[in-house]
Amino acid sequence: MSRISYQPSAYGLQMVLLEVPSALAKGQEQIPRLSILINLELLNSTVRVAWP
């Protein structure tokens, strides 16, 4: 039984860290884009786990 662990890529983390301050500064309209980036990063990690 294999354990699936989430290990974000450096690029994905960098994108999220860059988006957070601008999202907070610009207000709520930036939040959906931020969550899309996070979801894409989760999907990328899932794909990497499923297809090593």
Tokens standing for residue 2 = 């294999």
For position 9, what pLDDT does the model report? 66
In tens, the pLDDT along 1-52 reads: 455 555 556 666 676 667 776 766 676 665 666 677 777 777 776 666 555 5
pTM of the predicted model, to two decimals? 0.31
44: its two tokens:
């990328």
What are the two backbone dihedrals, phi and then psi, of residue 11, each rounded to the nearest 5 degrees?
-65, -45
Helix, strand or coil for residue 36? helix
Domain boundaries, the chain: 10-50
